[in-house]
């Protein structure tokens, strides 16, 4: 919205130049040295030139010097606030607008800028009140009418809302924000003919605006039209050389066109423009990893994390590379693993046991020698009443020498005392009674392939492969899942089903992923490869900190919910049968299990659970016809009649948990996501058009 340069010149010159009319100017002349006023006028000219070239940061610096010459000049405070607004420094922009108001600056564009600031800060209600006040005084104010109409989109892109915008476009056919809004809405609604029409109008009337060229480039990259995206992004950079988003699109288009070296050069240029752009550092690392420069890649990801410690994708990329490339005793593994102690502890404190275990296990993938993580897992099992798993973890801690008070762990003697106590307590357990090691007992696992696809317009390259790896790592804590593959792919689902069926996968977890600086969207379809049947279809959206982990955890829970725990008949003593299913699979005394012959799959009868251990159970067998049950046959839990509804509730609760903050919105069999949150983002993006 940087406009009215000639008016800006006139008003500021009248206020600061020697001999200008107005008491403020004469007062300034009497108390300010002549050379200071001359410098202010020079700074003003510099500011105007910089505004014209979209060098907003430099323009803001020049206007600050104008204000130093005349701190009582309200118009200068407004222009400073306007520059800070476009720079994204919303707090200081608000301060500048308040200073202008305190100086009784009454021009109509001050409340318009304040309304825009309120939208960008997320206070849509306050923005609406400002617009309503402007329209009450000046009903035909163009910017207020358009702003109010665009703001109304946050309640839903209904036909009525679209018609209002279209009616306004007939009255104000050249309004930049209005054309941008109609372009965005028609694209989102799939009306590509209208979309092209409004986009062409925007380019026709405002092709010399970097924001419109950027809009055209953004939509081209979304459609996978890399040549067109490059054309418009280059136009945008020629109009505004420091426009970071245009350089991002140039880089993304180069990646899409299969030119990683050119993409790397664009990211390097972006880093030169803004050394604190975490996205550019992440992408640089991804491209360097692709050409084998792993040390440089790790340094780039570390730099991204120094800039934005909460930048999850850089952390996940770094972790994946460390797991693959560094020796187990490398100190960098320990540094990364330490973060999972705290995240797992927070989840555990909120009674999110399954997710806490996933975080602890992820930490141990990074550093298998982290005794604190191992002790935390042991504590988690003890809280869940899984004494055998608790004892097993204590034994691992002892055998690996992971004790020591310096690390906050048990001393050798304390550890041994606990091992002795729980060994005695478990002497009558199922596993001990049958003389079996339940932790090595065979059980059939469901083979799952995790494949992530990302849109052509994805801002962060390689997000698909890193998210696939991360979801797969979370699934590996399940006793019943065997993650056979994690991959990124752009192929159609029908081809992927056949390919992974031939590789032995029972289930294909196909994830469509779209992530950005503010939110993550993911759609999961779990497909049974033998029949190509989709057994679940879940769409998840998450905004705010921890969004990638929250979505990955939700997807892992949804995948695991489709895996039916299966056990093997380990031993038999008359009607008593030992099976490799236990409390970890939800079994309790008096539950029912069904037995089937392997490999034929014929029914052999049922059983009632008599006693349960953590990973094994004892059942009383009842044959269905001839008694043909033998070791190696399969046992599957039979849910009670009302179990389906209970499972659905439990699955929803588990899937709805995130990283210990706010439950996610999970929609079964839905084509959309949280519309309110998504529309608010769309509205805020439209108010960034200038």
**Is-contact 550 664, C-beta < 8 A?**
yes
pLDDT of residue 169: 86
Cα distance between residue 153 and residue 180, in whole Å:
13
Low-confidence stretches of the chain (pLDDT < 70) are 1-45, 47-55, 107-108, 156-157, 404-408, 456-457, 640-681, 688-690
Tokens 């300010």 correspond to 32
Tokens 């880089």 correspond to 251
**Average model confidence (pLDDT) for the chain?**
83
Comparing C-alpha atoms, which of 281, 198, 212, 214 is closest to residue 253?
214
Pick the CATH number of 1-107 from 1.20.1270.360, 1.25.40.10, 1.10.8.60, 3.40.630.30: 1.25.40.10
**CB 669: neighbour CB atoms within 10 A?**
9
Cα distance between residue 438 and residue 579, in whole Å:
10
User: Residue 593: CB partners within 8 Å, gap ≥ 6?
Assistant: 567, 579, 581, 587, 606, 607, 608, 609, 619, 635, 636, 637, 638
Angle of CA points 162, 168, 173, to nearest 5° = 115
Tens digits of residue pLDDT in 671-681 = 333 445 566 66
The CATH architecture to which 331-433 belongs is Alpha Horseshoe (1.25)
User: Residue 141: CB partners within 8 Å, gap ≥ 6?
Assistant: 108, 134, 135
Domains 269-325 and 331-433 share a fold: yes
- Structure-token pair, residue 600: 């034929």
Let me know if domain 566-646 sits in CATH 3.40.50.300. Answer: no
- How many helices and strands in the chain, by DSSP H and E? 30, 12
pLDDT of residue 17: 31
pLDDT of residue 288: 96
The CATH architecture to which 269-325 belongs is Alpha Horseshoe (1.25)
446-563: CATH class: alpha beta
Distances (CA, A) of 531 to 308, 498, 527: 45, 10, 8
Q: Angle at which helices 353-366 and 371-383 pack, to 10 degrees?
A: 160
| Residue 611 φ then ψ, to 5° | -150, 145
Q: Label the pairing between strands 533-543 and 519-528.
A: antiparallel
pLDDT of residue 48: 61
Cα distance between residue 613 and residue 582, in whole Å:
6
Sheet holding 481-488, edge to edge: 481-488, 446-454, 507-515, 519-528, 533-543, 665-668
DSSP 416-447: HHHHHHHHHHTTTSHHHHTT--TTT-----EE
Spans of all domains in the chain: 1-107, 269-325, 331-433, 446-563, 566-646
Comparing C-alpha atoms, which of 685, 669, 690 is closest to residue 187?
685
Angle of CA points 602, 603, 609, to nearest 5° = 140
């Amino acid at each position: 919205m940087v406009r009215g340069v000639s008016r800006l010149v006139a008003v500021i010159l009248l206020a600061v130049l020697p001999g200008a009319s107005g008491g403020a100017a004469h007062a300034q002349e009497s108390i300010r040295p002549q050379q200071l006023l001359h410098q202010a006028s020079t700074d003003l000219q510099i500011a105007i030139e910089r505004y014209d070239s979209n060098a907003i940061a430099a323009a803001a610096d020049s206007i600050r010097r104008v204000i130093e010459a005349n701190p009582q000049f309200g118009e200068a405070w407004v222009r400073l606030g306007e520059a800070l607004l476009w720079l994204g420094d919303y707090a200081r922009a608000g301060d500048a607008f308040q200073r202008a108001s305190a100086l009784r600056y009454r021009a109509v564009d001050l409340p318009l800028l304040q309304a825009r600031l309120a939208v960008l800060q997320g206070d849509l209600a306050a923005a609406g009140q400002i617009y309503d006040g402007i329209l009450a005084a000046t009903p035909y104010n163009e910017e207020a009418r358009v702003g109010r109409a665009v703001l109304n989109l946050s309640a839903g892109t209904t036909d009525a809302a679209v018609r209002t915008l279209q009616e306004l476009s007939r009255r104000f056919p050249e309004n930049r924000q209005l054309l941008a809004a109609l372009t965005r809405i028609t694209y989102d609604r799939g009306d590509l003919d209208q979309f092209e029409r409004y986009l062409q109008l925007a380019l026709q009337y405002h092709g010399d605006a970097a924001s419109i060229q950027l809009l055209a480039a953004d939509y081209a990259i979304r459609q996978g039209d890399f040549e067109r995206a490059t054309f418009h992004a280059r136009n945008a950079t020629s109009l505004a050389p420091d426009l970071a988003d245009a350089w991002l699109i140039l880089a993304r288009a180069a990646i899409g066109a299969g030119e990683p070296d050119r993409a790397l050069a664009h990211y390097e240029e972006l880093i030169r423009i803004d050394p604190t752009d975490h996205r550019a550092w992440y992408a640089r690392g991804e491209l360097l990893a692709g050409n084998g420069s792993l040390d440089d890649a790790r340094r780039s990801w570390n730099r991204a994390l120094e800039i934005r410690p909460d930048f999850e994708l850089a952390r996940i990329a770094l972790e994946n590379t460390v797991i693959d490339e560094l020796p187990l005793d490398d100190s960098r593994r320990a540094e990364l693993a330490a973060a999972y102690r705290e995240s797992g502890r927070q989840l555990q404190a909120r009674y999110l046991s399954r997710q806490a275990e996933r975080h602890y296990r992820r930490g141990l993938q990074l550093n298998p020698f982290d005794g604190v993580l191992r002790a935390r897992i042991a504590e988690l099992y003890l809280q869940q009443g899984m004494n055998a798993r608790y004892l097993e973890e204590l034994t691992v801690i002892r055998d690996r020498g992971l004790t020591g008070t310096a690390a906050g762990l048990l001393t050798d003697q304390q550890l041994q005392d606990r091992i002795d106590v729980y060994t005695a307590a478990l002497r009558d357990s199922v596993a001990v009674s049958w003389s079996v090691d339940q932790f090595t007992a065979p059980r059939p696992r469901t083979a799952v392939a995790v494949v992530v696809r990302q849109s052509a317009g994805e801002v962060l390259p390689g997000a698909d492969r890193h998210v696939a790896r991360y979801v797969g790592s979370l699934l590996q804590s399940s006793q019943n899942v065997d993650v056979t593959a994690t991959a990124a792919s752009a192929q159609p689902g029908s081809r992927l089903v056949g390919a992974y069926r031939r590789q032995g996968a029972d289930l294909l977890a196909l994830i469509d992923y779209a992530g950005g600086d503010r939110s993550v969207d993911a759609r999961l379809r779990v497909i049974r490869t033998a029949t190509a049947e989709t057994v679940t279809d879940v769409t998840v959206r998450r905004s705010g900190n921890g969004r990638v982990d929250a979505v990955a955890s939700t997807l892992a829970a949804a995948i695991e919910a489709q895996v039916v725990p299966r056990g093997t008949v380990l031993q038999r003593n008359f009607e008593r049968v030992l099976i490799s299913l236990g409390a970890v699979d939800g079994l309790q005394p008096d539950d029912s299990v069904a037995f089937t012959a392997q490999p034929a799959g014929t029914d052999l009868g049922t059983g009632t659970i008599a006693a349960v251990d953590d990973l094994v159970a004892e059942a009383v067998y009842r044959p269905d016809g001839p008694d043909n049950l033998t070791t190696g046959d399969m046992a599957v839990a039979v849910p009670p009649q009302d179990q389906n509804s209970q499972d659905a509730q439990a699955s929803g609760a588990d899937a709805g948990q995130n990283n210990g903050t706010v439950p996610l919105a999970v929609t079964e069999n839905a084509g959309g996501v949280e519309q309110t949150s998504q529309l608010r983002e769309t509205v805020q993006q439209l108010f960034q058009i200038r």
